[in-house]
Homo-oligomer: A and B are copies of this chain.
């Protein structure tokens, strides 16, 4: 788990004092910042670059890739003589995952692709700090960093992946567009549904998952919260949702969303929403609630994204989804292959 957390509106300004004790001589702090902030001078002025610290803007347009991690690591290593004092990720799930992966790969040989899987990392990561600016993915708290590699989309799951420090400042999520707010929030809702309805569930995950789920209902279906309260609560929903899946597993929507992401580059949050609406047979109550939320917020979910797929693309999509064995086992038990066949997935994908 993440050992240190600060929370609260404006707590971002504690960052300098948090980092001061971690500064090593000649070793810079590297800030990986979502490029949506590139023009936001007011925000950028609050990042206190000192000595040889470096700020790198990264695009979250696409899901993070192992090749992107490798390039970042190579550039950092070639520019600086000393390993960084720390990596600070400021952004959404993509930037969180990049920051975690870069901090691991600065201390481990080879390509990030070599470490996709479970507990393959042998050396401690460089000190790394996560500062989410959008809520829902749970990437700020999770033990994974999901990356698209040359052969698969899979996380680097390890004890060294979680951030050493997280700064939860709800104020930073103010500028998020409505669609992104909704899709990313639904990532949280959907992974709670999958965790709570999964066969791997235990009381630990359940308690976190239930809280995140309840917060999502309050935020997305309730009418009593101020914007400020809603922002703070969604940040906590993301946190608890991430904790819930850290100790259990996601399910059908994530498995199929990985397929969309791998072939079409569909972003994780919207991919989950595209898939989830067609999963009534697996999660009937929650798909109904989801549709209420979509209607309430007037959000349009992309349609027909699989209509022009080639046969080869569709097969790849199905293969990637079927490869997510732990997710299917969690969703449907050991006999999942009786329910989820390539034909079944083809039929579902073609609706999307």
Contacts and interface: CB of A to CB of B under 8 A. Distances in A.
Interface residues of A, number: 30
A203 B2 contact: no
Given A7-B247, A211-B210, A247-B7, A204 B1 contact: no
30 contacts: A1-B1, A1-B2, A1-B3, A1-B4, A2-B3, A3-B162, A4-B159, A7-B202, A7-B204, A7-B247, A8-B202, A8-B204, A168-B204, A170-B203, A202-B232, A203-B229, A203-B232, A203-B233, A203-B235, A204-B236, A207-B211, A207-B215, A207-B236, A207-B237, A207-B240, A208-B211, A210-B211, A210-B214, A211-B211, A211-B240
Interface of A: 1-5, 7-8, 159, 162, 168, 170, 202-204, 206-208, 210-211, 214-215, 229, 232-233, 235-237, 239-240, 247
A78 B214 CA distance: 53
A210 B214 CA distance: 10
Nearest to A234: B203
A143 to B, nearest CB: 11
Contacts of A2: 1, 3
A128 to B, nearest CB: 14
Given A1-B5, A203-B235, 7 more contacts: A4-B159, A5-B204, A7-B204, A8-B204, A207-B239, A207-B240, A210-B214
Contacts of A235: 203
A104 B10 CA distance: 32
A203 B7 CA distance: 9
A217 to B, nearest CB: 13
A277 B5 CA distance: 35
A270 to B, nearest CB: 26
Nearest to A247: B7
A212 to B, nearest CB: 8
A294 to B, nearest CB: 24
A318 to B, nearest CB: 34
